[in-house]
Chain A
Amino acid sequence: MNIDDSKNIMNDDSIPSINCKSFDAFIVDYIDDNLTDEERMVFIRHLTECAPCKKYLDDYQNSIALSQMALSDDEEKAQKEIPEQLVNAILAARKSVT
Chain B
Amino acid sequence: MDLSRKIDIIDLPEDQLIEKLKNGDPASFEHIVRKYGSYILTITKRYLGSEADAHDAVQDTYIQAFRAINNFEGRSSLKSWLHRIAVNASLMKLRTHKRRPIDLIDDTPSLFDSNGKRIETDAEITLSIEELAIDNSQRELVKQKINTLPETAKNLLLLRDIEGYSTAEVSELLDISISSVKTGLHRARQALKKKLETQQC
Seen from chain A, the residues whose Cβ lies within 8 Å of a Cβ on chain B are 19-22, 24, 27-29, 32, 50, 52-53, 56, 59-60, 62-71, 73-75, 77-83, 86-87, 89-91, 93-94, 97-98
* B129 A66 Cβ-Cβ under 8 A: yes
Q: How many residues of B contact A (CB 8 A)?
A: 53
Question: A21, A70, A86: which contacts B37 (Cβ < 8 A)?
Answer: A86
Contact with A along B172-201 (1 / 0, CB 8 A): 000000000010011001101100110000
Closest chain-B Cβ to A65's Cβ sits at a distance in Å of 6
Chain B residues within 8 Å of A67, by CB: 142, 146, 157, 161-162, 192
* B34 A81 Cβ-Cβ under 8 A: yes
Q: When A66-B132, A98-B24 are in contact, do A59 and B59 touch as well, CB less than 8 Å?
A: no
24 contacts between A and B (CB under 8 A): A19-B112, A19-B117, A20-B111, A20-B116, A20-B117, A21-B112, A21-B118, A22-B116, A27-B186, A28-B185, A50-B118, A53-B118, A59-B193, A60-B190, A63-B189, A64-B161, A66-B142, A74-B42, A87-B34, A89-B59, A90-B33, A93-B63, A94-B29, A94-B62
Distance between Cα atoms of A22 and B33 in the complex (Å): 49
Tell me the residues in window 66-88 of chain B with beta carbons closer than 8 Å to chain A beta carbons: 66-67
Closest chain-B Cβ to A33's Cβ sits at a distance in Å of 12
Q: When A28-B186, A74-B46, A90-B62 are in contact, do A63 and B125 touch as well, CB less than 8 Å?
A: yes
The dominant DSSP class at the B interface is helix
Tell me the residues in window 147-175 of chain B with beta carbons closer than 8 Å to chain A beta carbons: 157, 161-162, 167
Chain A residues within 8 Å of B140, by CB: 70
Chain A residue nearest to B164 in the complex (CB): A68
B50 lies within 8 A of chain A by Cβ: no
Distance between Cα atoms of A70 and B59 in the complex (Å): 26
Chain A residues within 8 Å of B37, by CB: 82, 86-87, 90
Question: A50, A65, A93: which contacts B59 (Cβ < 8 A)?
Answer: A93
Chain B residues within 8 Å of A75, by CB: 39, 42
* A28 B182 Cβ-Cβ under 8 A: yes
Distance between Cα atoms of A82 and B82 in the complex (Å): 15
Chain B residue nearest to A34 in the complex (CB): B167
Chain B residue nearest to A95 in the complex (CB): B26
Distance between Cα atoms of A27 and B190 in the complex (Å): 11
Closest chain-A Cβ to B44's Cβ sits at a distance in Å of 11
Distance between Cα atoms of A73 and B133 in the complex (Å): 9
* B185 A69 Cβ-Cβ under 8 A: no
